[in-house]
Amino acid sequence: MRFDLITLFPEMFAAVRDQGVTGRAYARGIWSLGLWNPRDFTEDVHRTVDDRPYGGGPGMVMMAEPLVRAVHAAQAARQCARGNADIGPAPVVLLSPTGRPFDQAAAQAWSQSAGAIFICGRYEGVDQRFIDQHVTHEISLGDYVLSGGELGAMVIMDSIVRLLPGVLHDAQSAEQDSFNPALTGLLDSPHYTRPEVWRDQAVPAELLSGHHAQIARWRRRQSLSLTATRRPDLITAARARGELSPDDEAWLVTLGAA
């Protein structure tokens, strides 16, 4: 797995490269990173990467030429790193609020790939001609606007890297994730740790019982309750896929959420 970032702020990516689960996986060589600053692909004395929008309006627009040169450098470096195994050019991904909504199924699919080149926009946006000719995927993380694509790229990288084989200590912890399609796409149940009583609040007795079947049933019901309250759309989707058992349906009736 290799990610290449086209970014005016390469230093930001130290966060995902050096810290936590993704940092350990990077140190172990499970994924690698290429950082490409469009400013390094300019030829004027001011190293200009942006210009005023045609038609007027506020702010500046990222110029196409430095971006294309950076993408070509990234594609060439990936090709070199692969040696003889030519698997074709990498996908070129733009983080944008107008992109396709990202979800856990998309993270799973990307985790089976060789990675991608991410375009991290800044200013008011990116020259549309670059997008039309070079971007293969547009991805949105939600209905809000950021000041740049970098944090979005890091969110996506984090969600993919933690799914790679050997990254999580416990293979079960990814399987139990909220939204995992294998877990019927419900929200995860609540977690508790020591002490058993904290500021007068006890851990639910079911979790202390030691009966695995009883614990599993309690967690399943908690998942159903939480999902029915917070994300009823996920209940509807799981039901449509035939992933709710008669026991699940009975519990939802008990909740008054069926």
Residues acting as catalytic residues: 97, 124, 162, 177
Q: Tokens in use for 178?
A: 């909220």
Label residue 108 exposed, middle or buried (CB < 10 Å: 0-12, 13-18, 19+): middle
Task: For residue 171, give the amino acid letter.
Answer: A
In angstroms, give the least distance from the CB of 9 to ligand 9WO: 12
125 binds ligand 9WO (CB under 6 A): yes
106 binds ligand 9WO (CB under 6 A): no
Nearest to 111 by CA among 119, 121, 102: 102
Which CB, 123 or 218, lies closer to ligand 9WO? Answer: 123
CA distances from 92 to 46, 119, 236 (A): 27, 7, 34
In angstroms, give the least distance from the CB of 224 to ligand 9WO: 30
Which CB, 62 or 163, lies closer to ligand 9WO? Answer: 62
Q: Which stretch binds ligand 9WO (CB under 6 A): 14-22, 115-123, 205-213, 224-232?
A: 115-123
152 binds ligand 9WO (CB under 6 A): yes
Q: Which residue is nearest to ligand 9WO (CB)?
A: 121
Contact 187, 226 (CB under 8 A): yes
Which CB, 158 or 206, lies closer to ligand 9WO? Answer: 158
Other beta carbons within 10 angstroms of residue 28's beta carbon come to: 10
121 binds ligand 9WO (CB under 6 A): yes
Site for ligand 9WO in 212-251 (CB under 6 A): none
95 binds ligand 9WO (CB under 6 A): yes
User: Terminus-to-terminus CA distance in the chain, angstroms?
Assistant: 43
8-state DSSP, 50: E
8-state DSSP, 135: -
Residues linked to residue 51 through DSSP beta bridges, in sequence order: 61
Q: Which stretch binds ligand 9WO (CB under 6 A): 8-16, 39-47, 144-152, 210-218?
A: 144-152
Please give the Cα distance from 78 to 86 (Å, whole number). Answer: 10
97 binds ligand 9WO (CB under 6 A): yes
Q: Give the footprint of ligand 9WO on this chain (CB under 6 A).
A: 95-98, 121-123, 125-126, 140-142, 144-149, 152
